[in-house]
Chain A
Amino acid sequence: MLALTRKSGESIVINDNIVIEILAVQDGRVKVGLAAPREMRILRKEVYDAIQETNKESATLKTDKEQEVNVLKQLLKK
């Protein structure tokens, strides 16, 4: 990983079309401004990680969740 030191108000340019600007640094928090082409998806990594985690919990290996699947079917039966 490349590590760069930047001050408030300074920026980094990636690939000619992504600009990351350090807007403010205060009390251990960094406010970052991002300018990127609209098709680029920008996410907080914890959201990404949480979805990955939830997906892993949702994946069923066909045989090992039979009982749980039955509970689910029961719930849907009204």
Chain B
Amino acid sequence: MQKPIFFKKGILGFDDYKEYVIVRDEENCLYYLQSIDNPNLEFIIISPHVFKKPYNPKISELYFEELGGGADDEFVVYLMVRTSGKSEEITVNLQAPLLIHLDRRQGVQVIVDGDEYGMRESLRVLIEGGDSC
């Protein structure tokens, strides 16, 4: 079993849960961020690579330092997906990505500076014309 990723500060609103594993859905670009401590708690996350436009948020250096620092390519970014029964209403939170240092198994939920990226951006619009997984 993979080693859990430790979110020292938790995920906002879920401060009590610090340890998660990321499970990849082999058939598509989805990942599941599953809480170790609460078997019922799970977030669906996605890599921004499937978006058409590059996702280049301004992430404060402080977040990288919080995870121990390092080169950019040591970190990965995932975005939280809010599901819905209607595909056009599925949204992605671009303003609060998850920044993870894979080797150190540490993560943090970032709050991106500025208002370029919203919290509820349509997934359908984001992936339109983008690469498939």
Chain A residues engaging chain B, CB cutoff 8 angstroms: 38-39, 41, 43, 47-48, 50-62, 65, 67-69, 71-78
7 contacts between A and B (CB under 8 A): A39-B62, A41-B60, A47-B111, A54-B96, A71-B86, A75-B123, A78-B127
| B27 contacts the other chain (CB 8 A) | yes
Contact of A61 among B40, B85, B86 (CB under 8 A): B40
Q: For residue A39, which residues in chain B have a CB less than 8 angstroms away from its CB?
A: 62, 65
Partner of B120, one of A41, A54, A78: A54
Contacting residue for A51 out of B43, B62, B95, B124, CB 8 A: B95
Q: Which of B77-124 contact A (CB under 8 A)?
A: 80-87, 90, 93, 95-96, 109, 111, 119-120, 123-124
Instruction: Classify chain B's interface size.
Output: 35 or more
Q: CB-CB < 8 A to B86: which residues of A? A: 71
Given the interface pairs A56-B13, A69-B44, the reply to whether A76 lies near B127 with Cβ below 8 Å is yes
- Which residues from A are CB-within-8-Å of B44? 58, 60, 69, 72
